[in-house]
């Protein structure tokens, strides 16, 4: 474990008050090597050595692009969309001496010109090698690099603990490189609304606009996360910041360096529900823990490993699982065809199963759909959902139905209110599984659709 400095020692000293003697420090040293300062010299502990090591690898990013904007009023008179210049400012981290930089995808998304400024004020143009919208991580390659650049080591060993000291380094509000300190407030945060497959490090180190893509480093000067989002009513830091863990950063970087154009996330083929206090009582569990399995994909990785409906998944490779997001994250950081150990509670007894996680079945190409040419939905281009397609669109891989990918202007489908992204779930009470069920629909047909997660049922008029 790591030796920490004054602030963490004080925090641990306070935390030890009121604990059993076995958990207290002996002769000023805790069992995990965290040390209490014993003299005036140690009271002058500084983060400067860590900053000197880490700061040169943290960069500022400025990006510019062009987007088209259509004014609804002028569009009625046939006016074309207008081009508008847009810009973005953020931070990034050099993770390889040859100029590979990690940042947030939202910093460089849809930008045509990217310029990276190093801590020593040198500037380089950059191009996007791989952008992963799901994790909000993008990998850039600096151009014109003729020497080894300072780089941070990606520490994906996951040895961090709640209460450990961390530094956030970035470019808040575009003022220039800035360092703030805090602690790890929580680990494995999944119910954040940031991502359906994200598991974040929460910190109280000040993170503000412009810090996006910057480094969260530990007291060894290693990169343990990429600062990504904050919870705030004002837009400024309120002490609740989130970073993408190094395990996912490593996965995206390795994919990019390996020549991939996208991060392929395997799946376990298991869907479940968080174990609440009521569910725990009904299952006879001592406490609420894990994810109770409600569906297992036929012949999927979980099914072949022996996972059954009613099992409670409590860990993946020893990492605690308590919700679907946590399971998706743990499995998503693995390479396809790799083996994971799944710990389940079955009949109240823990059982370890080995599962070989694999690519989601199906085709994620939305352009392979067909055009409905007859009936009330004519003019809608649709494609049947499959796990790979649903997952690529940010939906539930277990979902069934037919998704609308495009609606022609002036078509019958547009007149009845269909929109791109709508999932047609049922027609006249029958589940929809193929596009052929949508031909020749007429007036009086009852249809159920899912729109942005909300079920809507109506009758075609």
Confidence of residue 235 (pLDDT cuts 50, 70, 90): low
* Active-site option among 106, 232, 254, 411: 106
Catalytic annotation on 212? yes
Q: 414, 422, 430: which is closest to 449 by C-alpha?
A: 422
Highest mean pLDDT among 9-13, 128-132, 209-213: 128-132
* Chain centre to alpha carbon of residue 286: 31
Cα separation, 158 vs 297, in Å, equals: 30
DSSP per-residue letters across 112-152: SEEEEE-TTS-EEEEEEEEEETTTTEEEEEESS--SPPP--
The C-alpha atoms of residue 154 and residue 93 are separated, in whole angstroms, by 10
Give residue 24's pLDDT: 44
Confidence of residue 145 (pLDDT cuts 50, 70, 90): very high
Indicate which residue of 62, 135, 136, 199 is catalytic. 136
| Catalytic residue flag (residue 136) | yes
Active site residue 195: no
* Portion of the chain with pLDDT greater than 70, in percent: 85
Using the structure block, give the residue that is written with the tokens 């040895």: 159
pLDDT tens readout for residues 117-136? 999 999 999 999 999 998 99
Q: Which of 4, 185, 199, 212 is catalytic?
A: 212
CB 167 within 8 A of CB 47: yes
- Quote the pTM value: 0.80
Token pair 């009582």: residue: 281
What rounded mean pLDDT belongs to the chain?
A: 86
Question: Which pLDDT belongs to residue 427?
Answer: 93
């Amino acid at each position: 474990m790591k030796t920490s400095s004054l602030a963490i020692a004080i925090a641990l000293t306070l935390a030890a008050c009121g604990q059993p003697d076995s958990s207290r420090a002996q002769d000023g040293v805790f069992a995990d090597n965290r040390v209490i300062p014993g003299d005036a010299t140690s009271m002058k502990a500084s983060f400067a050595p860590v900053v000197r090591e880490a700061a040169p690898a943290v960069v500022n990013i400025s990006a510019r692009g062009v987007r088209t904007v259509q004014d609804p009023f002028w569009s009625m008179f046939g006016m074309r969309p207008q081009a508008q210049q847009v810009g973005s400012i953020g931070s990034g981290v050099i993770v390889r001496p040859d100029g590979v930089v990690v940042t947030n995808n939202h910093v460089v998304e849809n930008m045509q010109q990217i310029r990276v400024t190093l801590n020593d004020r040198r500037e380089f143009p950059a191009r996007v090698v791989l952008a992963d919208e799901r994790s909000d991580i993008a990998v850039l390659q600096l151009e014109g690099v003729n020497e080894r650049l300072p780089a941070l080591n990606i520490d994906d060993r996951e040895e961090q603990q709640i209460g450990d000291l961390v530094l956030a380094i970035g470019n808040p509000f575009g003022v220039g490189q800035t360092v703030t300190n805090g602690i790890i407030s929580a680990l494995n945060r999944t119910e954040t609304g940031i991502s359906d497959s994200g598991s974040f490090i929460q910190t109280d180190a000040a993170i503000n606009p412009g810090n996006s893509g910057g480094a969260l480093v530990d007291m060894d000067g290693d990169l343990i996360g990429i600062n990504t989002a904050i919870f705030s009513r004002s837009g400024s830091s309120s002490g609740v910041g989130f970073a993408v863990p190094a395990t996912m950063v490593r996965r995206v970087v390795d994919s990019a360096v390996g020549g991939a154009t996208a991060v392929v996330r395997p799946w376990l083929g298991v869907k479940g529900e968080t174990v609440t206090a009521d569910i725990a009582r009904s299952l006879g569990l001592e406490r609420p823990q894990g994810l109770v399995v409600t569906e297992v994909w036929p012949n999927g990785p979980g099914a072949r490993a022996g996972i059954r409906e009613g099992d409670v998944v409590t860990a993946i490779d020893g990492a605690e699982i308590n919700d679907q997001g946590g399971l998706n994250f743990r499995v998503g950081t693995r390479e396809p065809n790799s083996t994971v150990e799944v710990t389940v509670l079955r009949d109240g007894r823990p059982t370890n199963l080995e599962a070989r996680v694999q690519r989601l079945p199906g085709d994620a190409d939305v352009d392979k759909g067909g055009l409905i040419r007859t009936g009330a939905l004519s003019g809608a281009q649709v494609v049947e959902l499959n796990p790979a397609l649903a997952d690529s669109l940010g939906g539930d891989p277990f979902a069934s139905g037919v998704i609308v990918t495009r609606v022609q202007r002036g078509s019958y489908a547009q007149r009845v209110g269909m929109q791109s992204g709508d999932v047609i779930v049922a027609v006249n009470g029958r589940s929809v599984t193929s596009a052929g069920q949508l031909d020749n629909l007429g007036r009086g047909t009852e249809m159920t659709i899912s729109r942005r997660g909300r079920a809507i049922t109506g009758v075609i008029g």
